[in-house]
Each structure stands twice: as C-alpha cells, then as structure tokens.
Structure 1
C-alpha cells in the first residue's frame, strides 16, 4: 500500500474527503519526523514505537571488489511493533 492508497482508506473510514485525509496523514508523518529529529520516541499504543538509533562507525566490504570500506557513524530510525500489531500479523 502506498501513501495515496492509505490516504484514500483513511478518507473512507473516517468519513473525510481525500484531501482532508491526505492533510491529516501528512501532519501525522511530519510530527513523527520532527519528534524523531529531536531524538524523542513516538509510541502508538497497540501499534508500535518509532525511535532514533545511533549506528557506530564500522568497516564494511565492497561487494564488487571485496576491499574493506570504512562506513561512517550515522543515525537511523528503528520500529518496534506493539502487541496488537504482532497479534494481527500472526
């Protein structure tokens, strides 16, 4: 499912126009993004938790040549699914 399809599903379930649902979805995603950039975690009870994680510098390998490559430290986003989401998938 892509973002426009998700917005259409929200519009149908929440009795909103597609434009209103798209604005609401964009607002939610923007707030999650801003919270993660501030190093806050975002917990949606029953769904899961988004958190920022730090990856340390490490040595990788170039798959074409096999030579070692230095990979810089970086931040990434992790998602830990909640019990409700895990149960609905299994």
Structure 2
C-alpha cells in the first residue's frame, strides 16, 4: 500500500473528513516517526510493531559494476519488528 492508497482508504472509512485533514494526519504521523528515529528514539505502536535504529559496522564491500573492493563506512538503518497481534494476524491470513 502506498501513501496515496492509505489516504484513499482513510477517506473511504471517514467520509466526513476532508482530504487536506487526512493528508495532515498521515504526514504528521510519518513525520513524528521519522523525527523520533532521527533522534535515536524507538517508536512503539502496541499491537502493530516497533520502529528502531540498528547500527551496521564498517565493512569492505564490492562495486557491482567493476568488481572493485570499496570501504563501506558505519551506518544506521531503520528497523521494524512486528508486534504480537500483527504477527498473529498475518500468519492467520496466510493459512486460510
């Protein structure tokens, strides 16, 4: 689901809200999550999952075009771990 599809789904569920209000809500939620992660804070949405930052150590990589070895510096990546309820719901849907 894309961001625009999410907005469209919310508009269908809540026809009393205007498009600009739904856009503001979605953007505020995403911005809040992004800001928290940038500040090295964990974001937990009970029943859905948790967003956190993981550190990747420096390593020697390979340029896929030339095959040449390159030094890849340490970096931080966003990580999402599903919550118990979401995990159960996904597995239940796959078994049906």
Q: Same fold (TM over 0.5)?
A: yes
Unaligned ranges ≥5, structure 1: none
| CA distance in structure 1 between the aligned counterparts of 2:66 and 2:25, rounded to whole angstroms | 47
| CA distance in structure 2 between the aligned counterparts of 1:84 and 1:23, rounded to whole angstroms | 27
| CA distance in structure 2 between the aligned counterparts of 1:29 and 1:49, rounded to whole angstroms | 14
| CA distance in structure 2 between the aligned counterparts of 1:12 and 1:64, rounded to whole angstroms | 46
Contact 1:46 1:82 in 2 (8 A): yes
RMSD over equivalenced CA pairs, Å? 1.3
Structure 2 length as normaliser, TM-score?
0.84
Contact 1:4 1:22 in 2 (8 A): no
- The offset of 1:35, in angstroms, is 0.5
Unaligned ranges ≥5, structure 2: 92-96
- After TM superposition, the runs of 4+ consecutive aligned structure 1 residues lying more than 6 A away are none
